[in-house]
Amino acid sequence: MKIVIEKPDKKTLETKGVFSWPIWEKEVSKFDWYYDFSEECYLLKGKVVVETPDGKKFTFGAGDYVTFPKGLSCIWEVQEPVKKHYNFK
């Protein structure tokens, strides 16, 4: 299962409708997470490290567009408070 991190331009984000998606916010914390659906999100602020069961770590933050696959188990470590637009598929 692969986490994809991209840096899209504003036009791409507008085409996807990102700015009309709901917003989720989270304080500095660490927690387990499981994706029942695939998720795409765009971080407005913050810094996160996600670790997958195979020990791989993915770091992303403000300006990143991240896609998580359905069925992924992982550990979220929010290192700086997060504010993101998100969409489940």
Topology of the domain comprising 4-88? Jelly Rolls (2.60.120)
Cβ(84)–Cβ(24) under 8 Å? yes
pTM value? 0.95
Where are the chain's structural domains? 4-88
Query: Which of 26, 22, 34, 38 shows the shortest CA–CA distance to 86?
Result: 22
State the CB neighbour count (10 A cutoff) for residue 11.
8
Does residue 11 carry a pLDDT above 90?
A: yes
Taking only the tens place, the pLDDT of each residue in 14-33 is: 999 999 999 999 999 999 99
Give the pLDDT of residue 59: 98
